[in-house]
């Protein structure tokens, strides 16, 4: 190498090479959108006061408070409220950088099925963090990417009728032989364009949920828990295959080559599963 030639810049420990970082698609630019906390009814009003007083959330920053009348219940009951967290600003960029926390209580009559109550009671807990929602600039592309790697979604892509919002929910985090954790992910996209809405409207699969998406999600969770068949975030057969790749190895020993192999295993599993479904559907 001549004295004038530039030496290659060494890659720092735990840093991905620039070529890999630059190749990251825009739909993987994920940021926190909101989180959801389940609480027992005895804690619900306290949490509202905590948000208003301790976290300094003014009334106008309570995004929503949703109620419902249940058969056999005594009038309207508050199901959930959500509060914006962060600096109050009218700037669009600041608004998109903020997050929110939703608080949910089991509002059904005591004798009626409630997955929220089941989640809390089964853990002997008064509160439980249920899910984190990550925001992407391109939900359709992210959804295709995640599904191609074996991620199970319990809903189609949902369009909120009250907000400029698309969202989709994954299965729960739990391993084979363990009980469902009650924890899952939500992925959302805001600031929808007319072109995107036309793409969704013309889609062959179900892409529109013409109801409040909060009720749509909780209806689906009720069906899962009543049936006893809770969808995992990845099929347990796929989880077993991934576990076998690095079982008993410390996380710092997992290399980029290991992750490339894991990605290949995930995509091949999905292709094989799709082939089995196609064969079963054939006359």
The CA distance from 77 to 66, in Å, is 9
Give me the pLDDT at residue 195, please.
Answer: 67
The CA distance from 39 to 121, in Å, is 10
Closest CA to 80 of 42, 50, 107: 107
Summary mean pLDDT of the chain: 80
**Which CATH number is correct for 25-234, 3.40.250.10, 3.40.50.720, 3.10.180.10, 1.10.230.10?**
3.10.180.10
pLDDT at 205 over 50: no
Give me the pLDDT at residue 277, please.
Answer: 74
Give me the pLDDT at residue 111, please.
Answer: 73
Q: Is the dihedral of CA 237, 239, 242, 247 positive or negative?
A: negative
Give me the pLDDT at residue 206, please.
Answer: 37
Give me the pLDDT at residue 217, please.
Answer: 67
Strand pairing class (158-159; 127-135)? unpaired
pLDDT at 4 over 70: no
Give me the pLDDT at residue 196, please.
Answer: 65
Q: In this predicted structure, which of 144-148, 181-185, 237-241 has the lowest mean pLDDT?
A: 181-185
Question: Domain coordinates of the chain in residue numbers?
Answer: 25-234, 237-281
Q: 123 falls in which pLDDT band (50, 70, 90)?
A: confident
**192's tokens:** 């929808």
Query: What are the phi and psi torsion angles at 246 (to 5°)?
Result: -140, 30
Give me the pLDDT at residue 88, please.
Answer: 52
Please give, one letter per residue, the 3-state secondary structure of the chain: CCCCCCCCCCCCCCCCCHHHHHCCCHHHCCEEEEEEEEECHHHHHHHHHHHHHCCCCCHHHEEEEEEEECCCCCCEEEEEEEEEECCCCCCHHHHHHCEEEEEECCCCCCCCCCHHHHHHHHCCCCEEEEEEEEECCCHHHHHHHHHHCCECECCCCEECCCCCEEEEEEEECCCCCCCCCCCEEEEEEECCCHHHHHHHHCCCCCCCCCCCHHHHHHHHHHHHHHHCCCCECECHHHHHHHHHHHCCCCHHHCCHHHHHHHHHHHHHHHHHHHHHHHHHHCC
Q: 102 falls in which pLDDT band (50, 70, 90)?
A: very high
Looking at per-residue confidence, does 247 or 239 come out higher?
239
Give me the pLDDT at residue 36, please.
Answer: 92
Selection from 80-84, 178-182, 232-236, 279-283 with the highest mean pLDDT = 232-236
Own/partner long-range contacts of 139-145 (Cβ < 8 Å, ≥24 apart) = 139/27, 139/166, 139/167, 139/168, 139/187, 139/188, 139/189, 140/196, 140/199, 140/200, 141/25, 141/26, 141/27, 142/27, 142/28, 142/30, 142/187, 143/168, 143/187, 145/25, 145/27, 145/28
Give me the pLDDT at residue 162, please.
Answer: 60
């Amino acid at each position: 190498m001549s004295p004038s030639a530039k030496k290659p810049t060494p890659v720092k420990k735990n840093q991905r090479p620039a070529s890999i970082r630059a190749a990251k698609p825009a739909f993987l630019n994920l940021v926190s959108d909101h989180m959801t906390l389940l609480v027992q009814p005895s804690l619900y009003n306290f949490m509202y006061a905590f948000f208003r007083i301790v976290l300094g959330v003014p009334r106008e920053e309570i995004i929503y408070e949703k109620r419902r009348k249940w058969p056999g219940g005594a009038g309207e009951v508050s199901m959930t409220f959500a509060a914006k967290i962060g600096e109050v600003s009218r700037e669009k960029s600041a608004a998109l950088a903020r997050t929110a926390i939703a608080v949910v209580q089991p509002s059904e009559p005591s004798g009626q099925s409630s997955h929220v109550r089941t989640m809390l009671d089964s853990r002997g807990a008064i509160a439980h963090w249920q899910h984190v929602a990550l925001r992407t600039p391109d939900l359709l592309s992210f959804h295709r990417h995640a599904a191609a790697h074996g991620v199970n979604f319990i809903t189609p892509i949902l369009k909120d009728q009250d907000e400029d919002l698309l969202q989709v929910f994954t299965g729960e985090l739990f391993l084979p032989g363990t009980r469902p954790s009650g924890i899952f992910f939500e992925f959302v996209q805001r600031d929808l364009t007319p072109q995107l809405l036309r793409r969704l409207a013309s889609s062959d699969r179900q892409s529109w949920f013409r109801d409040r998406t909060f009720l749509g999600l909780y209806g689906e969770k009720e069906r899962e828990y009543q049936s006893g068949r809770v969808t995992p975030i990845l099929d347990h057969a796929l989880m077993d295959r991934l576990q076998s790749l690095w079982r008993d190895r410390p996380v710092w020993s997992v290399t980029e080559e290991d992750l490339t192999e894991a990605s290949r295993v995930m995509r091949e599993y999905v292709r094989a599963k799709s082939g089995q479904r196609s064969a079963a559907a054939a006359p």
